[in-house]
Amino acid sequence: MCGIAGILRFDRQPVEQTLLANMANIQQHRGPDDEGFFVDDSIGLAFRRLAILDLSPAGHQPMASADGNCWLVFNGEIYNHDELRCELKRYGHEFRSRSDTEVILAAYTQWGIDCLSRFNGMWALALWDSRQQRLFCARDRFGIKPFYYHQDAQRFIFASEIKALFADPQTPRQPNEGAVYAYLVFQKVQFGEETFFTNIKQLPAAHYLLVDVQGIRIQRYWQLDHSRYNPYISDAEAIEKFRHLFFDSVSLRLQSDVPVGTCLSGGLDSSAIVCVANQILFGNDSKPDRTNVGAQQKAFSACYSDPRCDERQWIEPVITRTGAESHYIYPDGEGLFADLETMVWHQEEPVAGSSLYAQWCVMRRAREAGVVVMLDGQGGDEVMCGYQPYYWSFMAGALQSGNLAVLRQALTNKPGSLDRWQLQHILRIFHSTLPLTWQSRLLYTRRGLPIWLGEQMRSQVYIQETINSDHPTLLGQHLERDLIATNLPALLKYEDRSSMAHSIEARVPFLDYRLVDFMASLPDSMKIRNGQMKWLLRQALKDVMPTEISQRRNKIGFGTPEDSWLRQYWTKIQQYLGQGEIIQRGWVDRQAANAILQSSASLASADEHLVWRWLNTEVWLKLLSDRPPTNVIN
């Protein structure tokens, strides 16, 4: 895992190595172990290394191909690098290291751009091909690793993080008011290739980009293949196939030459990873190299005194079952506001919710414990069908198909009742799944705009990434939309920044593309049955997980007591917002904002989520000016 950056000048002017060094240095947290540069007239590449595999100097980047024609900077992991290395050796390629970086170079030499289809992993890469005088950039299938860029008439500039682009004073720092509008009104943080900055774009997941004197060309190289949809698969076959794929995915992601740990929230996904990893590492038939795991797994969990959010009753059975070494972390409101500016500086955008702070604290504690690689359950809900709104899509699909028996069963066995706190959370998620035209009718008319919205924002157009899924079921379409366009891209962005801020590589076993392809091929009944979400996961791993976990029906997720945290420091928040820039810019109406803040201060009819968005936008704007992060509540 690393930080990458680079510049290709169209005007043939030489690249300044000082600028490249500045771009690399601002990403030092992504790679504290090494740095490297390649400059050849109008092309320059920069690299910061977090050493994970082959810790020797042989893994240094930028790395050249055997013939010297290609230079590569690469952020991520290719988990099937050993398999590919063996295949490439049969074609005559020779290797001088154990690094996956060298495998990428050989694969590109052998197969060209088509090498991407052979990789199983996560990556953002940039490869300079001197023979063709072009820069080849690519991002993994799900966008686990980031890639940002800016282009003007003189140059193409890219990096793992936006702040590295701003190391070049010619890169504009202009807020994208369409994105800010979508965040303030709709709580959106994902806009396709758009970002919170005008003229700063991100390369979409599953796409590659070619840059040469003719300009930029972007092309998709992978998408879910719905021709494999198999509604007739038996339960036994689906269980066996899923189990094989999931065990293999976890096993691949345990590869490391540095210490490995796991996130454990108490939910099904993280519990499944911890339990399967334990079986792989310590089962009766296992003979793996445990050097970088130790005598026990290390599991890291966020805990709270607030029972709405605390998961210890679900975490402890997993710890007991696996014998993992438990590390409990206790995020609180004081810590949140002390760290908020630093957190937003790393995220480079306003944060959607305080649950990110729990993730932040877990990653920080893991690094303090000496862990460098963390396995996490990100993607499990979107792949396995874990959010309650999916249940409504499942019911709608049964109604659409006329399957009244399934609909009756779904209504009878729906997963539990909802309290107000859970219902608000679900409605926020569910809104993002509605067609854009519905969202516009519900929330985007001049007459229906929030009274607190400032004049500058009232003419903004709502930005949202949309996809047209051809999956044969409504539930499958809903899952694909969340996987590709809405929920998951935002969660992966947060995961990357929270982990890399503490020099940790996060790995997500549920996003092995083979597993995702397989789950997309299954009928709805393999995902929801008898009122149970994630039915296949529960069935396939019921002998590995504690029974109370495999049969658990309620879901908290990475929740935090955000409302009580905000109220605890409400006066400080009012002072911080004060005559804030969000008001000065005309994004929020002063009079309406003051009224809301005063009513909230009296603990009546508060909209804590709205004030959270105002606060984060204010923090983000202040950090735009390159001001060092401070403590919000001081």
pLDDT, tens only, 111-124: 999 999 999 999 99
86 assigned to active site: no
520 with 379: CB under 8 angstroms? no
| Amino acid letter, residue 515 | L
CA R_g for the chain: 24
Q: Look at 474 and 80; give whichever has higher pLDDT.
A: 80
Residue 564: is its pLDDT beyond 80? yes
Q: Give the pLDDT score at 287.
A: 59
360 with 337: CB under 8 angstroms? no
Q: Look at 40 and 449; give whichever has higher pLDDT.
A: 40
Q: Which of 2, 70, 137, 385 is catalytic?
A: 2
Residue 115 makes CB contacts below 8 A (sequence gap 6+) with 104, 107, 108
Q: Give the pLDDT score at 440.
A: 45
Query: pLDDT over 90 for what percent of the chain?
Result: 71
Distance CA 262, CA 280 (A): 14
User: In what helix (H) or strand (E) does residue 329 lie, and over which residues does it extend?
Assistant: strand 325-329
Residue 414 makes CB contacts below 8 A (sequence gap 6+) with 391, 531
Q: Give the pLDDT score at 105.
A: 98
- DSSP 3-state assignment of 220? strand
User: In what helix (H) or strand (E) does residue 298 lie, and over which residues does it extend?
Assistant: strand 298-302
Q: Look at 120 and 431; give whichever has higher pLDDT.
A: 120
Kindly state the average pLDDT of the residues 339-355. 94
* Total length of the chain: 634
Residue 461: is its pLDDT beyond 80? no
Q: Give the pLDDT score at 203.
A: 98
- When the candidates are 3.60.20.10, 1.10.1200.10, 3.40.50.2300, 1.10.10.60, the CATH number that belongs to 2-220 is 3.60.20.10
pLDDT (tens digit, 9 = 90+) per residue, 4-31? 999 999 999 999 999 999 999 999 999 9
Mean pLDDT of the chain: 89
Distance CA 612, CA 566 (A): 8
Residue 463: is its pLDDT beyond 50? yes
pLDDT (tens digit, 9 = 90+) per residue, 224-253? 999 999 999 999 999 999 999 999 999 999
Among 281, 288, 343, 604, residue whose Cα is nearest residue 499: 343
Residue 416: is its pLDDT beyond 60? no
Residue 157: is its pLDDT beyond 80? yes
Dig out the tokens for 615 from the structure. Answer: 């606060």
Residue 170: is its pLDDT beyond 80? yes
Lowest mean pLDDT of 32-41, 263-272, 616-625, name the range. 616-625
Q: Give the pLDDT score at 134.
A: 98
Distance CA 487, CA 481 (A): 8
Q: Look at 100 and 391; give whichever has higher pLDDT.
A: 100
Per-residue pLDDT band for 428 (boundaries 50, 70, 90) equals very low
Domain ranges of the chain: 2-220, 226-384+472-550, 562-624
Per-residue pLDDT band for 284 (boundaries 50, 70, 90) equals low
Lowest mean pLDDT of 80-89, 167-176, 369-378, 578-587, name the range. 578-587
Residue 504: is its pLDDT beyond 80? yes
Q: Look at 467 and 589; give whichever has higher pLDDT.
A: 589
Q: In what order do the strands lie in the sheet with 63-64?
A: 63-64, 70-78, 121-129, 134-139, 207-212, 215-220
Q: CATH class for domain 226-384+472-550?
A: alpha beta
Is residue 10 packed enough to be buried (19+ CB in 10 Å), middle (13-18) or exposed (0-12)?
A: middle
Kindly state the average pLDDT of the residues 401-420. 64
Per-residue pLDDT band for 443 (boundaries 50, 70, 90) equals very low
Residue 180: is its pLDDT beyond 80? yes
Match 């996961």 to its residue by tokens.
Answer: 537
Kindly state the average pLDDT of the residues 566-590. 88
Kindly state the average pLDDT of the residues 256-260. 94
Q: Give the pLDDT score at 288.
A: 61
Q: Give the pLDDT score at 214.
A: 84
Q: Give the pLDDT score at 424.
A: 47
| Amino acid letter, residue 547 | T
Strands 260-263 and 207-212: what pairing? unpaired
Residue 255: is its pLDDT beyond 50? yes
Lowest mean pLDDT of 127-131, 453-457, 620-624, 625-629, name the range. 625-629
Q: Give the pLDDT score at 633.
A: 62
Neighbours of 229 (CB within 10 A): 17
Q: Give the pLDDT score at 432.
A: 46
Report which listed range, 64-68, 439-443, 466-470, is most confident: 64-68
